Amino acid sequence: MQSNHDGHWDEEVDLLIFGAGAAGMTTALIAHHEGLKVLVCEKTDAVGGITSTSGGTTWVPGTRLSVDAGVPDSVDDARRFLQSVVSERGGDEAREAFLQSGPLAIDELQRISDVKFIAAAAHPDYVTGPGAAFGGRALAPMPFDARVLGKDFSRVRPPRKEFMGLGGMMVNRSDLGALLSPFASARHFTRTAAVVGRCLIDRLRYPRGTQLVMGNALAARLFHSLRKRGVDVRFEAPLIELIREDGRVTGAVTGSTDGSRKRIGARVGVVLATGGITRHPELRKQLFPAAAQRLSLSPDTHTGDGVSSALQIDARLDNGGDSPGLWMPCSIRRSRDGSDSVWPHIILDRAKPGLIAVNSRGQRFVNESNSYHDFVMGMLHDAGDGPSVPAHLIVDAAFIRDYGLGLLMPGRSSARIAGFERSGYLVKGATLAELAMKLGVDADGLARTVETYNRHAVSSEDPLFGRGASPMSRFNGDAAQQPNPCVRPLGDGPYYAVTVWPADLACSAGLAGTANGEVLDANGAVIPGLFACGNDLASIFRGTYPGPGTTLGPAIVFGWRIAKFVAGKSSDRDAVGRTRANACLHELP
């Protein structure tokens, strides 16, 4: 809103940041390092946002960490790769800024803070093309011992309950094999004992395990770094409105738990990093496909405060290019108490051999081993005569034994399988016809689909969709299944299925901005003093999803760029920042 501000502030800082996820905390950390007085206002009582519940992988090409991991990556290769993936969708200058700044941002975070990453030697890009990498670009946050936070540990948002064992134990992907089969070897047993034992000891003093991994570790490391520097992080202080004077954003009004409000001045700028529009009731309906309205993986508090406040002062909303959302297929289990457990089908089942995904016609509609985002895009774009939302993942008993399915972990326990059946989460059919009837799927179509799939699968082939053809699909398959780790026939019944729905994990739509995160108005001009990063800023990948961590990578890098820019330390302050870098981002009609 335009304010008749009389010169009085309740408080004044250099940089005022809304949102304490990876984007907001990175901005705060770098800005403080550059000598600015910073205030972070967080709507909830804990830091982390969607970062804390994510896998934490951060996609940044060309870092020194890739060299350390033995898989040196180059920005030039990444540039060619992104050109092939994003093509003519726009946003070229902002992506170039991301590529140039990414290695610098990661280097500085590692040097000045407790934020530590390791590059994965094997974690392929999600799309094939020139310049694609098998490893080096996906950076994983190092595990973090949250005991050093003391009482502040309660200020770190917990991960999703579905991703914690024993009511509070976090598990790294590298430990999954040991925990799922602890008696398979002495090494598995030793590792399982160490992980579980640590958690049990922690639970004597803490509400959950203190050995943090994935996105929870990243959020905690950023928060710990801010605490060590004395940066003011204010909780339960939502953004109420922006204050604009003579065209420039000069501060904002914040709320509090007691209903009072504060007018906080910002000498160099206000940064919006509030998590995006995924839970904004009107914008969700306006932008998201009707078939994807039901489910979101983002926190309930991500109601678009930053974006809606910017729109009130004539900011431009960008529709995100190919897709307003970034997606995961999720299954839902209703508990006896009426609560839901939502399971994202990321790596544990879809790419494994012996699973097919079908729609209501009983037909396959996508390569099941595609990335989670591209799998859901297949659901949403299916142009046949029957919907692919929801879809059904179908397997045989051997698959359940070897890999599990969704919330059902691998094994032979008939009692455990029966429990998932009784809850309605797992559907069982002695025959394909019975399974089809229970799912409401065309029985003849399903029979033809399985017959066709099996006929080719005996030769480890999938001519319809090419499962196992990409490095990413083979990586997530089963290396023991040769020659194609993603393909084997479905055996005789009984058959099992879980139903999956599209769920957004983040948004591609957001505020249009420059390569330095300056928010643009409806005419494409910069709104002085207003910045956005993270999910509040429209994705530089234009609705595509190139690799693991392609939300967190830009969130951190553009947070870094904003901080450098407002501190006057950006080498391209005039050349890149002041141009309409995202003029090629398309506003809504």
Residue-wise pLDDT for 1-34, tens only, equals 444 445 689 999 999 999 999 999 999 999 999 9
* Contact (CB, 8 A) for 176 and 349: no
Determine contact, residues 377/369, Cβ cutoff 8 Å. Answer: no
Cα–Cα nearest to 12, from 45, 46, 36, 35: 36
* Residues 188, 74 contacting (CB under 8 angstroms): no
Domain ranges of the chain: 11-140+217-323+508-566, 327-504
Cβ proximity of 114 and 227 under 8 Å: no
The CATH number that domain 11-140+217-323+508-566 falls under is: 3.50.50.60
Report the candidate in 513, 589, 40 with the shortest Cα–Cα distance to residue 270: 40
Return the bridge partners of 429, or none: 495
Question: How far apart, in whole angstroms, are the C-alpha atoms of residue 384 and residue 370?
Answer: 20
Task: Quick: pLDDT tens for 524-570.
Answer: 999 999 999 999 999 999 999 999 999 999 999 999 999 999 999 87
Look at residue 386 in the predicted model and tell me its pLDDT.
62
Place of tokens 């502030």: 9
CATH class of the 327-504 domain in this structure: alpha beta
- Give every CB contact of residue 568 below 8 A, 6+ residues apart in sequence: none
Alpha-carbon distance of 210 to 208, in angstroms, equals 6
What is the SS3 assignment for 102? helix
At residue 382, the pLDDT reads 75
Rounded CA separation 460/454 (Å): 9
Assigned token pair, 56: 């934490």
- The pLDDT score that the predictor gives to residue 582 is 38
Q: CA-to-CA distance for 465 and 451, rounded, in angstroms?
A: 15
Position 571 scores a pLDDT of 60
Going by the DSSP 8-state scheme, the letter that residue 315 receives in this structure is B
Closest CA to 255 of 309, 202, 292: 309
Q: How many Cβ atoms sit within 10 Å of the Cβ of residue 70? A: 10
Can you state the percent helix, strand and coil of the chain, rounding each to 5?
35, 20, 45
Quick check: 531 and 15 in contact, CB under 8 A? no
Place of tokens 């034994």: 401
pLDDT the model gives residue 334: 87
CA angle 270, 275, 277 (to 5 degrees): 105
Overall average pLDDT of the 148-173 stretch: 81
**pTM assigned to the model:** 0.92
Buried b / exposed e over 485-516, threshold 16 CB at 10 Å, is: bbbbbbeebebbbbbbbbbbbbbbbbbbbbbb
Query: Which of 449, 441, 433 is closest to 363 using CA atoms?
Result: 449
- Strand pairing class (117-119; 138-141): antiparallel
Cis geometry, peptide bond prior to residue 494 (ω within 30 degrees of 0): yes
Backbone angles phi, psi at 501, to 5 degrees: -125, 155
pLDDT grade, residue 141 (50/70/90)? Answer: very high
Percent of the chain residues topping a pLDDT of 90: 81
Q: What is the pLDDT of residues 246-256, one digit of tens each?
A: 999 999 999 99
| pLDDT of residue 583 exceeding 70 | no
Are 45 and 300 within 8 A, CB to CB? no
At residue 222, φ and ψ (nearest 5 deg) are -65, -45
The Cβ of residue 141 has, within 10 Å, a number of other Cβ atoms equal to 27
